[in-house]
Structure 1
Amino acid sequence: MSFAAPPTVDHGAARRPGPREGELARTLRAARERLAMRGGTGPRFTRELLVQHAAALRAAAFVLPLPVMATGFGLSVFLGPVPAVLWTLVALGCYLALVATARRFGAEQVAPEAVARWRGLFLTGHAMTGLCWAYLAALDLGPLHGREFGIFQFTVLFVVVASTAMISFTLQAVVPATFALAAVFLAIGIAGGTDPAHIAMTAILIAAIAFFSLVSEILRRSALRGYVHQAEKDELIAELETAKVISDEARRRAEDANLAKSRFLATMSHELRTPLNAILGFSEVMESEMLGPLGSDTYRSYVRDIHASGRHLLGLINEILDLSRIEAGRFSLNEEAIELVAVARECLGVVRIKAEAKGLTVRGDFEPALPALWADERAIRQVILNLLSNAVKFTPRGGTVVVSVGWTAGAGQYVSVRDDGPGIPESEIPVVLSAFGQGSVAMKSAEQGTGLGLPIVQALVKLHNGRFDLHSRLREGTEAIAIFPQSRVLEVMPALDDPNWQEA
């Protein structure tokens, strides 16, 4: 019988990154660039702050003319209509130019090298509006309207300074750039003034410019920290997404490798077992000399070696297939009610001849009247046989092997195989419990195994929801314990003619 070759899986081929991975890489790179500029604003953060500033100016485009027109109306009362209209037109023109700059900035794709130029344009626009307010700050109407105009001047400038600080705080040094000249004129007014009330209001205005400059800078730094935190979040999300992509790729490769392994083992189970059965069959026929004598003792010895080696190789193949089926989740338990003591006695009888030939004492220590266990008899027999075979294999001549079956403290059942052999160093216990793992004692032994016995035992016990423990000390022996939970112990049901049962 021939089998089609399984499809090959190229695990070494380089995998081209998909569009999602490329997008993640770009996001991660951009986030790292932003974090690298954490010490200052950097061109990228400056651009984002300018974007926010331009958006604020566009949103306030219909509000900015209101204080200008209100101021123009007030100036018409104190200065007359012509100077007031001229001042209003100039101030409105400056604010219109500033809003137009913001709209143009929002419409263009600003390159990083052009950020400084745009920042200079915005500061220039604010400075032009500041010239209009500096003109207002420089006005002095003398004693005739001095008190009333001072109150008007104080109110307008205070409101304009505060609104500028609130609207344009994302532009660094916007308040000093706009109102520095106004502060100079106010300070000159204090130096030449004689009215205490006017001096007090002027001093408050100068202090307000300094105060709102500080407030504007604090708000700008707060906005900058927000961008830094957003960059950190972007980096974290990108890192998580990248890790997920890598994890998915690793899982896919592992699944492909596991599929390839399963196909290989499925093929090998047939391709190896078929010739091995022929070798075992023919070597057994030759060893028994069914078709005539071999004629030489050397040939008889060779035939016995061939038969023994074939049985060893077949056992190794069976163990590998069992372990691969368990790992792949395709080992199904054929569960039924079994007597754990009976299975242990049976296994003890199987290994007794080999143990006695080696000069070992093998005995059982069984708890009487144990109830049945719900388990796979073949798997339990394999567990006990593997443990007994290991004990017999590594226990020196004259040693003792004890098999115990009984109750656990949690009302479950256990099987224990204890020997007084050379033991296993504590550091090597994880090694011998891994597939193909062998301790130093096994390496030196003339009866080396495959290193699959204990991993198979551990996996079969786990399939029964149990626990496998291995306790050993060097030169003091080893005890292997398979523990089965209470949920697998079958209760003894009362007889149907029991009056207590009938009442229940």
Structure 2
Amino acid sequence: MSSAPDTPRAGAQDDPLRAAAQAADQEPVDPREIDSAMIAGLYRRTGPLIVANFGALVLLTLALWGKADTLWLGLWAGVLASWTLLRYGLARLFLSRPRALDESRRWTLAFAVGSTVAGCLWGSSVGFAGDLATDSSKLMTAFLMAALSAAAIAGYTNSLLAFAGFIFPALAPYAARLVYLDGDPSLTIAAFVGFWGLLLWVMAKHLNHGFRDSVALGLRNRNLAERWRRERDRAAAASAAKSRFLGHMSHELRTPLNAVIGYSEVIAQQLLGPVGNAKYADYAEEVESSGRHLLGMVDGMLDITELEAGGRKLDLRVQDPAPLLLDAADRWDPAARQAGLSFEAGVPENLPAVRIDADALAQVLAILLSNAVRFTRAGGRVALSAAASPSGVTVEIADTGAGMTPAEAATVQVPFAQIDGEDYLTRGVRSDDRARHTSPRLNVARARLLTEQMGGSFALDSAPGDGTRVALTLPPAAPGTAEPADGT
């Protein structure tokens, strides 16, 4: 049997990522939330800016002490320090209370006013600089302008209004002094100053747009995650309701079905006397057969709902899987040969012990081998094999039957799912067997759920015309666990 063609892994992984990215981009975001997040970022940066502000203030005051009027210098330093502390208090107030989205504009304006006043105070320090012709004064001026520019880029770019309010009054006085350093305006220095201001604005605008896009993406992802959680909870509630309903209905249907099967069996076997017309006995046999089939469906639905809800508790024990696999092969070999199929069993005797529920594994094997025999035409092959693996024991059931498309192979593992188009349940099934196998797609889902509840894994690989391969990985016994000789 040839397996289904492999699909490129990159494409399979890229499509979900691309879909998630598109979903995030399309998720609506309230612009007020973006503004609120941007202004919150401004106020969160106030702490480091305050430290830098006081550091620059102390250094500048010490550098100018004795070179400028001490009274005016002290007054200027005191006002700037007081205003800095006032702005810090405003930031603490902002961060300590919940805020409505409509308040963002007011808080942004308050921050812009604070930064503008701070810029004016820093710009006024040019009055203490004295003669800028000396090398030390030029060096101090260059350092101060660079420091103020860096502070504006680092702390104010979340709001272009606050950035402009700080940077222009802080740097314009120093820029004017440099341009008129020798008394007459210097076009070269003016060009450098203009380029510096343009560069600062371009950088601030670029960072502002980047911050805004980043905030918008974060909000979209948050909204998408919240919507996904709501949909997940809604789906979980619907699944739980479905499981409760099916469980209840399954119990309710068992009683009348048992009565139908019992009475039809009495009639078919004519236990209470002969039936006048032989056709009636034949009809009774059909009723009994259909009733047993329907009862199997009801039991399947009940089993599925219990497995999904975790209501079925398995008796997991450490045991040798070889006897269970060989017993399943012995049971299905005659059925396969009767259908004109070859049956191959490759089960070594030295398989490692696994931790399984014997009844559950027998049920899984019966489901998979039954499907393999049922959906393989005469002349085909069914194989059961097992081998030790790093994950425990891998059991494989393969056939050369009708096969399925990848979409059908995925859907058939989902309880109560429907497959559109050509019916998987009748494709390749013998005509004399077709009418009795029109149940919902429960068996493969039951096998998967039972395998996973034992702690194993279930993989189904199929392609139309190339048959189906199912690989079960049974979990190994826990290290140090004694292996019972009798499997109990």
Q: Give TM class, smaller chain.
A: 0.5 to 0.7
Q: Partners of 1:121 and 1:409 in 2: how far apart?
A: 73
Letter in 2 for 1:393: R
Paired residue for 2:374?
393
The TM-score with structure 1 as length reference comes to: 0.58
**1:451 Cα deviation (Å)?**
2.1
Q: Partners of 1:61 and 1:157 in 2: how far apart?
A: 16
CA contact (8 A) 2:244 2:305 kept: no
Letter in 2 for 1:315: G
**1:119 Cα deviation (Å)?**
5.8
| Cα gap change, 1:368 to 1:158, in 2 (>3 Å) | closer
State the identity %. Answer: 23
Q: Partners of 1:491 and 1:45 in 2: how far apart?
A: 62
CA contact (8 A) 1:423 1:476 kept: yes
Is residue 430 from structure 1 mapped to residue 434 from structure 2 by the alignment? no
Paired residue for 2:442?
452
Paired residue for 1:361?
340
CA contact (8 A) 2:369 2:397 kept: no
CA contact (8 A) 2:402 2:466 kept: yes
Q: Partners of 1:156 and 1:413 in 2: how far apart?
A: 81
**1:400 Cα deviation (Å)?**
5.5
Q: Partners of 2:239 and 2:369 in 1: how far apart?
A: 31
Letter in 2 for 1:71: K
| Cα gap change, 1:226 to 1:290, in 2 (>3 Å) | same
**1:417 Cα deviation (Å)?**
5.7
| Cα gap change, 1:186 to 1:459, in 2 (>3 Å) | closer
Q: Partners of 1:263 and 1:282 in 2: how far apart?
A: 30
CA contact (8 A) 2:120 2:169 kept: no
Which one of the candidate residues 182, 186, 190 is aligned to 1:187? 182
SS at match of 1:71: coil
Paired residue for 1:442?
425
Higher relative contact order (CA 8 A, sep 6+): 2
CA contact (8 A) 1:320 1:452 kept: yes
Which 10-residue stretch deviates more, 467-476 or 206-215? 206-215
| Cα gap change, 1:183 to 1:165, in 2 (>3 Å) | closer
Q: Partners of 1:54 and 1:469 in 2: how far apart?
A: 61
Paired residue for 1:319?
300
| Cα gap change, 1:414 to 1:166, in 2 (>3 Å) | closer
Alignment of 1:476-487 (within 5 A): none
After superposition, what is the alpha-carbon deviation per residue over 1:70-95, rounded to whole angstroms, capped at 9, x for unaligned? 1257xxxxxxxxxxxxxx65666666
Number of aligned pairs? 409
Paired residue for 1:383?
364
Is residue 344 from structure 1 mapped to residue 328 from structure 2 by the alignment? yes
**1:274 Cα deviation (Å)?**
2.1
CA contact (8 A) 2:413 2:444 kept: yes
Paired residue for 1:30?
34
**1:313 Cα deviation (Å)?**
1.2
Q: Partners of 2:301 and 2:37 in 1: how far apart?
A: 52
Letter in 1 for 2:314: S
CA contact (8 A) 1:71 1:156 kept: no
Q: Partners of 2:413 and 2:291 in 1: how far apart?
A: 26
Q: Partners of 1:121 and 1:413 in 2: how far apart?
A: 75
**1:233 Cα deviation (Å)?**
6.8
Q: Partners of 1:383 and 1:118 in 2: how far apart?
A: 73
Which one of the candidate residues 332, 351, 376 is aligned to 2:314? 332
Is residue 310 from structure 1 mapped to residue 310 from structure 2 by the alignment? no
**1:402 Cα deviation (Å)?**
4.7
**Structure 1: which 5+ runs fail to align?**
1-24, 35-42, 74-87, 138-151, 192-202, 494-504
Which 10-residue stretch deviates more, 234-243 or 378-387? 234-243
Q: Partners of 1:271 and 1:213 in 2: how far apart?
A: 86
SS at match of 2:276: coil
Is residue 284 from structure 1 mapped to residue 269 from structure 2 by the alignment? no
Q: Partners of 2:404 and 2:191 in 1: how far apart?
A: 80
CA contact (8 A) 2:360 2:450 kept: yes
Is residue 178 from structure 1 mapped to residue 154 from structure 2 by the alignment? no
SS at match of 1:442: coil
Which 10-residue stretch deviates more, 264-273 or 52-61? 52-61
**1:442 Cα deviation (Å)?**
2.6
CA contact (8 A) 1:424 1:478 kept: yes
Q: Partners of 1:345 and 1:48 in 2: how far apart?
A: 70
SS at match of 1:187: coil
Q: Partners of 2:303 and 2:349 in 1: how far apart?
A: 29
Which one of the candidate residues 256, 260, 271 is aligned to 2:237? 256
**1:260 Cα deviation (Å)?**
2.9
Letter in 2 for 1:187: D
**1:310 Cα deviation (Å)?**
1.6
**1:316 Cα deviation (Å)?**
0.8
Is residue 165 from structure 1 mapped to residue 145 from structure 2 by the alignment? yes
Q: Partners of 1:388 and 1:209 in 2: how far apart?
A: 88
Q: Partners of 1:486 and 1:103 in 2: how far apart?
A: 66
Which one of the candidate residues 263, 270, 290 is aligned to 2:251? 270
Which 10-residue stretch deviates more, 311-320 or 464-473? 464-473
**Structure 2: which 5+ runs fail to align?**
1-28, 95-105, 153-165
| Cα gap change, 1:155 to 1:210, in 2 (>3 Å) | farther
Q: Partners of 2:62 and 2:143 in 1: how far apart?
A: 12
Letter in 2 for 1:70: G
| Cα gap change, 1:111 to 1:406, in 2 (>3 Å) | closer
Q: CA RMSD in A?
A: 5.5
CA contact (8 A) 1:131 1:182 kept: no
**1:314 Cα deviation (Å)?**
0.9
